[in-house]
Structure 1
Amino acid sequence: MEPRTGKRAGSGRPKPSLSPRLIVETCLALMDAEGADALTFRRVGAQLGADPAALSRHFRDRDDLLLAVADHLLGEGLEGFEPSDGWRQTLRTLFIRMHKVHLSHPRATVLATVRVTRRPAEMRVIELTLTALSDAGFPPEQAVRHYRALVDFLLARSCMDAAHCTLDAHTRRGDESAWSGEYAAVPAETHPQIAAAAPYLASVDDDADFDFALDLMLDAIAARAPGKD
């Protein structure tokens, strides 16, 4: 990533025009390429051609930068999003978008999904989710409990899927092939249910599995909703 530059400094070298967004985007690109070790002021500053101390004008420390990266991921998922007419479709679309964004940046996701960002994108996700649950008829206390169940599922599943993506290729292939290898070879005499299900265990698609699990949660919420639509 080439640094954006402003006026030239006295040394004749380009002077980076730093902004919080540029710093976060640079950090995210570095994490995509190099992992968590790239989340340092020194590494990001070097990529931007800037003194690491200049980053501290926008972010207090590494943790502050991580929270900004986490919120940026949520912001990516919100780009172009508009609520649907029905609360269920609003939540389904929103959570599928968030899961896809997290998997597009797996190395950042394994750090970001366990944090509370306290920032605008996260606040909008919370507001959208609580609004949908309110539209379903839940009063605030119940809406919050259902919100936490949904979001915890999204973040836990996104973190698990992202962690799998960060495995080295050999390990990942070994885990994926186990369903058509070792599990397909389990004898029916000792594990009859696994043997009967073996052809299907190997055919589960991760994206479709996430959608299926999300629908199960939304089915349960719809069954509990005071105002079903």
Structure 2
Amino acid sequence: MAKRERGSLSRAEIVKVALEVAEADGADALTFRRLGPALGVAPTAVLRHFRDKDELLLAIGAQLLENALAEVDLAEPSWRERLLSLARASRRAFVAHPRVAALVATRTLRQEAEFRTVELILGALAQAGLSGREAASMYRVVADTILAWTAFEATVHAVGLDVMHRDGLAWTREYVVLPADRYPHIRAVAEHLSEVDREDQFELALNLVLDAVEARAARGR
């Protein structure tokens, strides 16, 4: 890339290129020495925007959250639908960049996108009828369920879908032929185990958590 004018580099552009580099060659390739030439600047120019790699990773995490928030209809009247929309959008945003998502999904970002996400979740929980410590505790359950799942799926994608597909064949091969006298409970549902995919699991996990929110709110009332 040709050299650029001094002062024309922005944080947003650095984050964009950092995502491209990490997705192409892995997070280990995400160095300022590598980013400088990719951006057409000296590595020290990146340091004027981010003091170290960790700060850059947090900014990348914030950008993934921004991508997710852009898909959420904040005017949706149903608190449950807003949270489901946020969860699904977060999953898509993070899994689209699996090689960095696994590194940032579990971090506390301390940036505007995170603040807005927390506010969205707490607002939905308040509408559901939770407040105080119970709302704070349930917020962590909701957020951690979403982020833990996205980190898990990002890791799956990073391992390789072909590898995971081969592992998944165990449900239709090894599990269905296990001896019923030794594994009666497995054999009782063996034909259904292969039908349950990650989409089912994600939706079920989310809805179980939101059912718990409704149950706790009803108990409080």
Instruction: Give the structure with the larger helix fraction.
Output: 2
Q: Which amino acid aligns with 2:111?
A: R
Q: State whether residues 23 and 99 of structure 2, in contact with CA within 8 Å, keep that contact through their aligned partners in structure 1.
A: yes
Q: State whether residues 114 and 155 of structure 1, in contact with CA within 8 Å, keep that contact through their aligned partners in structure 2.
A: yes
Say which of 31, 34, 37 aligns to 1:46.
37
Cα distance in 2, alignment partners of residues 101 and 167 from structure 1:
18
Structure 1 residue 79 corresponds to structure 2 residue 62: no
Q: TM-score, normalised by structure 1?
A: 0.89
Q: State whether residues 138 and 226 of structure 1, in contact with CA within 8 Å, keep that contact through their aligned partners in structure 2.
A: no
Say which of 55, 63, 69 aligns to 1:64.
55
Structure 2 partner of 1:219: 211
Q: State whether residues 71 and 89 of structure 2, in contact with CA within 8 Å, keep that contact through their aligned partners in structure 1.
A: no
Aligned to 2:133, the other structure's residue is in SS state helix
Correspondence list, 1:11-50, <5 A: 13-15=2-4, 17-50=8-41
Q: State whether residues 134 and 140 of structure 1, in contact with CA within 8 Å, keep that contact through their aligned partners in structure 2.
A: no
Correspondence list, 1:1-229, <5 A: 13-15=2-4, 17-83=8-74, 84-168=76-160, 170-226=162-218
Higher mean displacement: 27-36 or 164-173: 164-173
Q: State whether residues 103 and 158 of structure 1, in contact with CA within 8 Å, keep that contact through their aligned partners in structure 2.
A: yes
Q: CA RMSD in A?
A: 1.9
Q: Which amino acid aligns with 2:19?
A: L
1:22-65, Cα deviation, whole Å (9 max, x unpaired): 10011111112211112211122222222111001111100000
Cα displacement (A) at 1:199: 1.6
Structure 2: segments with no counterpart, 5+ residues: none
1:124-143, Cα deviation, whole Å (9 max, x unpaired): 00000011111112113211
Aligned residue pairs, count: 218
Structure 1: segments with no counterpart, 5+ residues: 4-12
Q: TM-score, normalised by structure 2?
A: 0.92
